[in-house]
Amino acid sequence: MSDSIVVPQRRSLYPPIEPYNNGILKVSDTHTLYWEQSGNPDGHPVLFLHGGPGGGTSPNNRRFFDPEFYRIVLFDQRGAGKSTPHACLEENTTWDLVNDIEKLREHLKIPEWQVFGGSWGSTLALTYSQSHPDKVTGLVLRGIFLIRKKEIDWFYEGGAAAIYPDAWEEFRDLIPENERGSLVDAYHKRLNSDDLETQYAAARAWTKWEMMTAHLLPNDGNIQKAEDDKFSLAFARIENHYFVNKAFFTSDSYLLENIDKIRHIKTTIVQGRYDVVCPMMSAWDLHKAWPEADLKIVGDAGHSANEPGIAAELVVANEKMKAFVG
């Protein structure tokens, strides 16, 4: 009889659940954060970090985790979702968010937790882990985003236009030709305009570009999010703010340069082969810098965590983590 642990290979999302409690945490004179907990109050804590930045959480995010094993913590980052003030850029930096995570952990009296994040959530998960490696029991990362110049240029300055020229022209054409030297800067100007309708128009275009490219096969429900002005404004303004400021990092490859701080943490990376938003070069660069992390390439997927192949691998990663942390 083998002594090895046999992990059941569940690949489907767990059924929808409701939080058992939630609240508002004041983290500065300006900002309050919405948080919630679901699953098992006595289970292993896991923190879900949403994308964007500015995307906010949704009920479906709870379903990646076994609710009998995990104490599932979700929160909306500064300016996003139900956190206030909405779409606010003041006191909104990567380091503010790292500090917020620690404030939330202490508020919930959690000694340490597993961290799960995709897209910008992977950026924040890496940053938090490198800042507080003793507080992280394991990492599950998806759609790796390291906020390097070549990644921003790829998606917002014309690279991805080679694959989505139809969607790209709509994004590009909001900006006059004489301002197209940097679309990120041109959108920054409009997203911070004194005219609210100018902000909304830019936010809708920015959000639609990302939503139209986030799935291997078009997802109409996702694309329609761009028509929600409240969602789009937070999503576009906060994303753009972070990109203009290079995530407030001190160097272009900051996260890769600090891998040694987290090399010991059990980690799974899930990456769609055809991810246009956060192309696989970043997951590959992370894997090369950190071969101890387990890289799962999903051959029939793009960017979204809700694509079948990616969702399945994320569930598997969490199931395997149960054996490791349990």
Which position among 31, 50, 188, 303 bears the catalytic label?
Answer: 303
User: Is residue 166 annotated as a catalytic residue, yes or no?
Assistant: no
Neighbours of 84 (CB within 10 A): 17
Neighbours of 324 (CB within 10 A): 12
Contact 72, 65 (CB under 8 A): yes
DSSP single-letter state for residue 177: G
Which position among 83, 119, 122, 129 bears the catalytic label?
Answer: 119
User: Is residue 275 annotated as a catalytic residue, yes or no?
Assistant: yes
Three-state SS string over 241-282 comes to HHHHCHHHCCCCCHHHHCHHHCCCCCEEEEEECCCCCCCHHH
Q: What angle do CA 290, 293, 295 make, to 5 degrees?
A: 110
User: Is residue 260 annotated as a catalytic residue, yes or no?
Assistant: no
Residue 2: which residues within 8 A CB-CB, separation 6 or more? Answer: none
Residue 15: which residues within 8 A CB-CB, separation 6 or more? Answer: 63
Q: Can you read off the two tokens belonging to residue 223?
A: 């694309």
Contact 226, 74 (CB under 8 A): no
Which stretches within the chain are classed as H helix? 94-107, 120-131, 149-156, 165-172, 183-191, 196-213, 220-224, 229-244, 254-257, 280-289, 308-325
Which position among 275, 282, 285, 287 bears the catalytic label?
Answer: 275
Contact 305, 276 (CB under 8 A): no
Q: What angle do CA 26, 110, 52 make, to 5 degrees?
A: 55
The DSSP element (H or E) to which 74 belongs, if any, is strand 70-75
- DSSP codes joined into one string, 136-156: EEEEEEES-----HHHHHHHH
Contact 49, 116 (CB under 8 A): yes
Q: Which residues are catalytic?
A: 119, 275, 303
